[in-house]
């Protein structure tokens, strides 16, 4: 019954998603929507081939939301006709659809992705499972991406071939590291590394299918080669031998994404980063400027939330989102989840936002970069280098460096403050007063989103002259506030936290 109902639902979805784009004048439609033709072309690709935009890449300026690639038609086709077919057919389907999307959006510039994929295959085959192959991959792929940024960068966000290439870069670096781990003794690997280590030798077709998978080529999410191969083998289903019962979970994420889309569409003409650069903003009162930055900082992230929720629905529909079963035997569909919406909306800490936002990219950096720096013997240094890598991966604009520098500073100070409150008897008692909890929460959320907006200002305005103008207008409040706390909190700790000997006497 369930399978029949899902089949009928899929048929209805397929009919409902058949758009007559060929009858539209893209230029006229884009003009009427306030977007560029290239932006509209990308949106069409997104709705025909599941992609989502990675955290960190700034959006084009248009009332049309850059929604995440919701490739529901292709996902439905895959479920119905290819789910248990020969693996070479599935790889060909993913490669062909990905190349078609690349050509539609970027024309002959698709050769950039094709060249890097072939180069990566040759590196794996010629250098084998060696650290040399890993280092070569990192230098070649990151070098190619950074060269692309250097040659194409402007003062605004432009939709060009580097947008999907940054996603591809992480995929290919992760592929090389997993392939290297596959040649090690399993006992020498961590439990996490054992899951991702590639024991076999990927063919060129497998690497191409993995790289061009229509549900992630343009803007993510990140997933491993092993997880992709499970999809190809038909293992990612809650009902072995049948297509996954994932239509309803997929539609739930789509519906939630559309709620964010509607909210963003209604508010986007009124809350923009352009206003931060206007004379009206600069001439407003200090508190007005801070409150606008707070509201904008919260709102600007909703376009990413929409993208990831809609794309997650596509991944769930194909089966790629299957993540086993919970303790009650219920299927989990969060393997490709990039958002924890409830945590994002309710947690008053910066670390809560980091844990709930762009989850797969953060997990990639943790797995392939941060944890691999363990030999440095310094967790803070490893974290700083990881954030530097993320900043460069996003682009060469100074705004990215400032944004991730602020994240680094804020997280350190937040941890210091949390440790101080936990260890200080006086502060712990104050923090536990029930009647004051709403006040604490309101203060925390205000600080949280004000300085999230402060960090995102540099991220979205890109260039030094723009973000510097805004920061000057609020007297570099974020830097002053957190740098002051960074130096003051250790002294406060000495006063507020008794020594262990005193604590023992008190007990």
| Cis-peptide into 496, omega within 30 deg | no
Which two structure tokens, joined as six digits, stand for 331? Answer: 């299927």
Active site residues: 358, 394
Q: Quickly list DSSP for 172-202.
A: HHHHHHHHHHTTS-GGGS-HHHHHH---S--
Task: Give just the sign of the alpha carbon dihedral 417, 420, 421, 426.
Answer: negative
Tokens 């009427």 belong to which residue? 32
Element (H, E) at 414: helix 398-423
- Whether the CB-CB separation of 353 and 452 falls below 8 Å is answered with yes
Closest CA to 229 of 193, 199, 188: 199
Tokens standing for 443?
């203060």
Structure tokens at 194: 């054992």
Extract the tokens encoding 169: 């870069």
Closest CA to 350 of 475, 252, 482, 484: 482
Q: What does the alpha-carbon distance between residue 448 and residue 344 come to, in Å, rounded to a whole number?
A: 12
Cis? peptide before 221, omega within 30° of 0: yes
Helix, strand, or coil (residue 339): strand
**By the 8 A CB rule, do 93 and 437 touch?**
no
Q: How far is C-alpha 459 from the geometric centre of its chain's CA atoms?
A: 14
Distance CA 387, CA 405 (A): 8
Distance of CA 242 to the CA centre of its chain: 31
For residue 339, the cross-strand partners are: 357
Taking the C-alpha atoms of residue 140 and residue 123, their distance in angstroms, rounded to an integer, is 10
Q: Tally helices (H) and strands (E) across the chain.
A: 26, 0
């Amino acid at each position: 019954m369930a399978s029949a109902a899902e089949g009928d639902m899929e048929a209805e979805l397929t009919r409902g998603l058949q758009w007559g784009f060929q009858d539209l004048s893209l230029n006229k439609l884009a003009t009427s929507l306030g977007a560029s033709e290239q932006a509209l072309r990308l949106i069409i690709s997104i709705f025909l081939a599941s992609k989502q935009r990675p955290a960190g890449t700034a959006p084009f300026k248009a009332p049309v939301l850059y929604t995440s690639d919701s490739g529901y038609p292709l996902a439905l086709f895959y479920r119905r006709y290819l789910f248990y077919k020969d693996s070479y057919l599935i790889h060909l389907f993913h490669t062909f659809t990905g190349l078609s999307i690349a050509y539609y959006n970027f024309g002959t510039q698709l050769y950039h992705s094709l060249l890097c994929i072939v180069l990566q295959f040759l590196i794996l085959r010629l250098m084998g499972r060696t650290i040399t192959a890993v280092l070569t991959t990192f230098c070649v792929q990151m070098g190619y991406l950074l060269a692309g940024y250097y040659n194409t960068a402007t003062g605004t966000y432009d939709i060009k071939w580097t947008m999907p290439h940054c996603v591809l870069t992480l995929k290919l670096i992760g592929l090389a590291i997993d392939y290297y781990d596959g040649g090690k003794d399993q006992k020498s690997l961590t439990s996490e590394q054992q899951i991702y280590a590639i024991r076999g030798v990927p063919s060129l077709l497998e690497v191409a299918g993995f790289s061009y998978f229509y549900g992630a080529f343009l803007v993510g999410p990140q997933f491993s080669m092993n997880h992709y191969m499970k999809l190809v083998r038909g293992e990612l289903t809650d009902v072995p031998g049948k297509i996954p019962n994932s239509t309803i979970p997929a539609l739930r994420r789509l519906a939630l994404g559309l709620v964010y889309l509607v909210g963003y569409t209604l508010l986007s003409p009124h809350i923009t980063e352009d206003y931060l650069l206007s004379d009206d903003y600069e001439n407003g009162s200090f508190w007005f400027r801070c409150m606008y930055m707070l509201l904008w900082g919260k709102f600007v992230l909703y376009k990413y939330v929409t993208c990831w929720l809609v794309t997650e629905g596509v991944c769930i529909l194909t089966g790629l989102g299957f993540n086993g079963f919970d303790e009650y035997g219920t299927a989990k569909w969060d393997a490709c989840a990039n958002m924890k919406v409830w945590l994002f909306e309710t947690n008053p800490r910066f670390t809560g936002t980091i844990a709930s936002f762009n989850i797969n990219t953060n997990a990639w950096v943790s797995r392939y970069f941060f944890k691999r720096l363990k030999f440095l013997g310094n967790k803070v240094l490893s974290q700083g280098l990881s954030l530097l890598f993320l900043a460069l991966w996003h682009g060469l604009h100074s705004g990215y460096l400032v944004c991730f520098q602020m994240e680094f500073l804020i997280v350190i100070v937040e941890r210091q403050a949390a440790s101080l409150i936990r260890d200080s008897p006086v502060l712990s008692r104050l923090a536990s007063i029930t009647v004051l909890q709403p006040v604490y929460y309101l203060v925390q959320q205000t600080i949280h989103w004000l300085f999230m907006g402060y960090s995102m200002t540099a991220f979205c305005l890109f260039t030094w002259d723009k973000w510097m103008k805004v920061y000057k207008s609020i007297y570099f409040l974020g830097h002053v506030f957190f740098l002051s706390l960074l130096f003051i909190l250790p002294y406060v700790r000495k006063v507020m936290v008794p020594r262990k000997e005193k604590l023992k006497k008190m007990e």
